[in-house]
């Protein structure tokens, strides 16, 4: 029997990323898990309008999305526990500036440089609609043909809000198409 547990969000777990952007000529980095895919070209990142990084994103119209794995979770968690308004987070990570000016974190094995096309304010959250311009993947996490991330090698950290807990991705169950064929 199912119990009604109110109207709690049950969209979790969600991947955890560190968003990077230049603010006043210096990088700021912010942890985020409220992300979405809104078309096959565009994604969405939801950031509270009080965050320091938002102004830089709006001014430069670029940001980076750095997917977190366990190897650098400690540092990533720090990016989510202090604001650039109160502490300089520009040295929290080694980074390289990408082609359109966003700081890409060296420790992240999978990063995307994104151009911001729209911002929608929903309540107190600025929702940045972004287009991926370039995806940077460490060779160690790539498939045999070198064309895509292999998630048996790369285990992104996940987040769930009700329990405020970090998880990581688990086992491979099989190819989607073979599941569809069983029906």
Pick from 63, 152, 72: which is nearest to 103 by CA? 63
Distances (CA, A) of 29 to 38, 87, 171, 177, 180: 23, 11, 30, 38, 40
Q: In the set 82, 119, 142, 167, which binds ligand FMN (CB under 6 A)?
A: 82
Instruction: Among 12, 44, 73, 83, indicate the residue that binds ligand FMN (CB under 6 A).
Output: 83
The answer to whether the CB of 109 falls within 8 A of the CB of 29 is no
For 126, the token pair is 């600025």
Residue 68 found at the interface with ligand FMN (CB under 6 A): no
Q: Which residues on neighbouring strands pair with residue 48, listed in sequence order?
A: 125
Q: How many CA atoms lie within 13 A of 183 on its CB side?
A: 4
Stretch that binds ligand FMN, among 5-13, 31-39, 92-100, 129-137 (CB under 6 A): 31-39
> For ligand FMN, which residue of 13, 22, 27, 52 counts as binding (CB under 6 A)?
52
Out of 33, 57, 63, 137, point to the residue binding ligand FMN (CB under 6 A). 33
* 48 counts as binding ligand FMN under rule CB under 6 A: yes
* Footprint on residues 129-148 left by ligand FMN (CB under 6 A): none
* Pick 138 or 160: Cβ nearer ligand FMN: 160
């Amino acid at each position: 029997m199912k119990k009604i547990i109110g109207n709690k969000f049950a969209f979790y777990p969600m991947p955890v990323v560190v968003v990077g952007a230049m603010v006043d000529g210096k990088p700021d980095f912010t942890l985020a898990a409220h992300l979405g895919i809104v078309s096959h070209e565009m994604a969405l990142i939801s950031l509270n309008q009080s965050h320091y990084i938002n102004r830089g994103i709006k001014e430069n119209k670029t940001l980076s999305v750095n997917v977190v794995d366990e190897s650098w979770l400690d540092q990533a968690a720090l990016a989510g526990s202090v604001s650039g308004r109160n502490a300089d987070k520009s040295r929290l990570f080694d980074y390289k500036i990408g082609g359109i000016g966003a700081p890409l974190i060296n420790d992240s094995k999978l990063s995307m440089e994104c151009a911001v096309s729209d911002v929608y304010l929903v309540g107190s959250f600025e929702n940045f609609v972004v287009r991926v311009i370039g995806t940077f993947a460490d060779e160690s996490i790539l498939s045999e043909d070198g064309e895509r991330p292999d998630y048996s090698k790369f285990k992104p950290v996940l987040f769930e809000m009700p329990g405020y807990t970090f998880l990581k991705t688990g086992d491979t169950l099989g190819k989607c198409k073979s599941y569809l064929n069983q029906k």
